[in-house]
Amino acid sequence: MATISKDESWQVIDAVRAEIADLLDDLTADQRRQQSLCDAWTVRDVGAHLSMAALASPAFVVKSAVRHGFRFDPIIREGTLAWSRGLSDAQVSGNLRTLVGNRRLAPTTMWRDPLIDALVHAQDIARPLGATVTAHPEAATTAADWAWDRTLGFPFFAARRLRGLRLVATDADWARGAGDEVHGPVTSLLLLSTGRRTAYAELTGPGADRARAVAAR
């Protein structure tokens, strides 16, 4: 099973941040306001979110946590919206470029977390726009393993949600789970593992229809 090192992971994160900054700069105002794969966020909001963990001040984080009762989902959802509102379009993409080479982590996270963030949120932005971003299959296997292996499954609960399915990548040496097989590109399986609701037309295998049903919930 392919994995990448910590240093290689940061190189991929840097590449994705730069690519998304370029993509955002080329969008129209309507495209920036388009709904992303994240239910509460526009394409622009997702771009803003990608800089929040590294650039938000401790005061901003504490204020958001207190305001939302230290509940993870509202802190991330509403905190991102507040962060996004405070940025101009130029700052959204500029922040991403500023972070190229930056290795700062949010409290309680480790290097695999920004890797998941970068790879998944790049798709959250690109897919609704009909755009294509660079695939990083080996990095996606490392991110997908982390989506399955995080302590107690939080926050993705991939093993529980996808119980009875075995995900098998068609473009990388990666498979997880047990049951009816679901075949597809590892990036698509990463999105499935992190709970993204999208069409997943590229999935095949005896478990594909069930996987799409799980994703639609």
> What string of H, E and C letters represents the secondary structure of 46-91?
HHHHHHHHHHCCHHHHHHHHHHCCCCHHHHHHHHHHHHHHCCCHHH
State the chain's mean pLDDT as an integer: 95
Instruction: In whole angstroms, give the CA distance from residue 181 to residue 178.
Output: 8
How far apart, in whole angstroms, are the C-alpha atoms of residue 189 and residue 181? Answer: 12
The amino acid at residue 212 is R
Distance CA 24, CA 92 (A): 8
Q: Is the per-residue pLDDT at 126 higher than 70?
A: yes
Mean pLDDT on 127-140: 96
CATH architecture label of 140-216: 2-Layer Sandwich (3.30)
With a cut of 80, say whether residue 152 has pLDDT above it.
Answer: no
pLDDT at 115: 97
Q: Which two tokens stand for residue 117?
A: 């963030």
Rounded to whole angstroms, the Cα distance separating 167 from 148 reads 11
Domain assignments of the chain as residue spans, ordered by start: 6-129, 140-216
Q: What is the mean pLDDT of residues 94-115?
A: 93
User: For 22-53, b where at least 16 C-beta lie within 10 A, e where not — what string?
Assistant: ebbeebeeebbeeebbbeebbbbbbbbbbbbb
pTM for the model = 0.94
Residue 187 pLDDT exceeds 90:
yes
Res 1: pLDDT: 55
Question: 71-75, 130-134, 163-167: lowest mean pLDDT where?
Answer: 71-75
